[in-house]
Amino acid sequence: MSRVDDVLTDSMISAIDTLLKDVRENANPDDLKVYKKIFRKTVPLHLRPWAAAYLLKQAVEPKSRRKITEGTTLFISVGKNRRVYPRDLIQLFIGAGKIKREDLGEIKVLDSYSFITIKEASAATAIDNLDGINYRGRNLVVNFAKKK
């Protein structure tokens, strides 16, 4: 095996480790059961390893979408205790917040609150549209996060 293959293998192993950690810590088992059921119904048994390999390849390859490094961080008053996951916040911001997916960056979901990095231009719109709405039995507080 060449040096390039070793590096590629190391990055794949690292990606698998990250993926498994994310599944254990952040994934909602009920959501995954639905995906698993669909996968089993639609992908023939002999093609499942190939489909899994292709999905892994897609996860490992560099994304064309750029990460938002410059932006502002917003505070959201819901977290893990309301069974909120990053994908839920993405849906909330895209749907009720009327924000484009490209404007959203890093999301941190903690026990009782969350933080999301968003483009400066979209921050005011998100706050106006989301602050005070009822989400999962709680009125949301969405505002600019305080810097430490």
CA distances from 76 to 41, 82, 94, 117 (A): 38, 12, 15, 11
Residue 64's pLDDT band (boundaries 50, 70, 90)?
very low
> Whole-model pTM?
0.56
> Residue 143's pLDDT is what?
95
Tokens in use for 87?
A: 């994908």
**What domains are there in the chain, each with its CATH number?**
3-60 (no CATH), 72-144 (3.30.70.330)
Instruction: Count CB-CB contacts under 10 A for residue 136.
Output: 11
When comparing pLDDT for 105 and 64, which is higher?
105
C-beta atoms surrounding 48 within 10 Å: 12
